[in-house]
Amino acid sequence: MDYSAVNTIWVLVGAALVFFMQAGFAMVETGFTRAKNAGNIIMKNLMDFCIGTPAFWLVGFGIMFGAGDRKALCRYVGNGAVLAGILSVVMTVLVCIWCRDILILMKTPSDILDGAYAYIFVIFLGIPLMVLYNQTSAIMRSLGDSRSPLIFLGISSILNIVLDLALVRPMGVAGTAWATIIAQGVSGFLCLFYMKKKFTILAFTREDWKLHKHYVLNLCNMGIPMGLQYSITAIGSVILQTAVNGLGSTAVASVTAAGKISMFCCCPFDALGSTMATYAGQNVGAKKMDRVNTGILTSSIIGSVYSVVILGVMFLWSRQISLLFVDASETVILDQARQMLLINMVFYIPLTLVNVVRFTVQGMGFSKFAILAGVCEMIGRSVVAFFLVPYFGYTAVCFASPVAWILADLFLVPAYLYCAKTLRSLFEKNAQMM
Contacts with 293 (C-beta within 8 Å, 6 or more apart), sequence order:
420
pLDDT score at 226: 61
Calculate mean pLDDT across residues 199-203: 74
SS3 assignment for 268-281:
HHHHHHHHHHHHHH
Find out whether 368 and 419 touch, Cβ atoms under 8 Å.
no
Find out whether 44 and 95 touch, Cβ atoms under 8 Å.
no
Find out whether 290 and 72 touch, Cβ atoms under 8 Å.
no
Find out whether 374 and 232 touch, Cβ atoms under 8 Å.
yes
DSSP string, 64-89: HHHTT-HHHHHHHHHHHHHHHHHHHH
pLDDT digits (tens, 9 = 90+) for 45-60: 445 544 555 555 444 5
Q: Is the pLDDT of residue 401 over 90?
A: yes
pLDDT digits (tens, 9 = 90+) for 81-139: 787 788 788 888 887 888 788 777 666 666 667 777 888 788 888 888 888 887 788 77
pLDDT score at 398: 96
Find out whether 32 and 58 touch, Cβ atoms under 8 Å.
no
DSSP string, 297-323: HHHHHHHHHHHHHHHHHHHHHHHHHHT
pLDDT score at 13: 47
Q: Which of 185, 60, 207 is nearest to 134 (CA)?
A: 185
Cα separation, 233 vs 226, whole angstroms: 11
pLDDT digits (tens, 9 = 90+) for 245-270: 778 778 877 888 888 888 888 888 98
Contacts with 111 (C-beta within 8 Å, 6 or more apart), sequence order:
none
pLDDT digits (tens, 9 = 90+) for 410-423: 999 999 999 999 99
The torsion angles phi and psi of 2, rounded to 5 degrees, stand at: -85, 135
CA angle (21 as vertex; 15, 26 as ends), nearest 5: 125
Reported pTM? 0.67
Q: Is the pLDDT of residue 434 over 70?
A: no
The torsion angles phi and psi of 205, rounded to 5 degrees, stand at: -115, 170
Considering the chain, what percentage of its residues have pLDDT values greater than 70? 78
Kindly give the residue spans of alpha helices, DSSP state H, lying in 58-198. 59-66, 70-105, 110-125, 127-142, 147-171, 173-198
Find out whether 369 and 313 touch, Cβ atoms under 8 Å.
no
CA 398 from centroid of its chain's CA atoms = 21
Find out whether 63 and 281 touch, Cβ atoms under 8 Å.
yes
Q: Is the pLDDT of residue 277 over 80?
A: yes
